[in-house]
Amino acid sequence: MSKGRFSRPQQQGQTKLSLSHEELSLLLSGIDLLQTRRKPWHRVVTSDPEFSA
């Protein structure tokens, strides 16, 4: 990977970045994450083992 080739969101003083596997895939495909935003999807968190992945 060439220096300056990939752009990633970063906040001042931030040393770590957490990406979902979808965001990592987009970043490695060359998609500029600075020009994207997450949609406010509603996700229900459950402790029921039947619904866990």
pTM for this prediction: 0.42
Separation CA 16–CA 45 (nearest Å): 25
Return averaged pLDDT per consecutive 10 residues of the chain, 53 residues in all.
Answer: 57 77 84 74 68 56
What is residue 9's predicted lDDT score, i.e. its pLDDT? Answer: 59
What is residue 31's predicted lDDT score, i.e. its pLDDT? Answer: 79
Among candidate residues 7, 45, 52, the one with its CA nearest the CA of residue 26: 7
What is residue 21's predicted lDDT score, i.e. its pLDDT? Answer: 86
Please answer whether residues 28 and 1 qualify as being in contact, where contact means their C-beta atoms are separated by less than 8 angstroms: no
Q: Residues with Cβ < 8 Å from 23, sequence gap 6 or more?
A: 33
Separation CA 41–CA 38 (nearest Å): 8
What is residue 43's predicted lDDT score, i.e. its pLDDT? Answer: 67
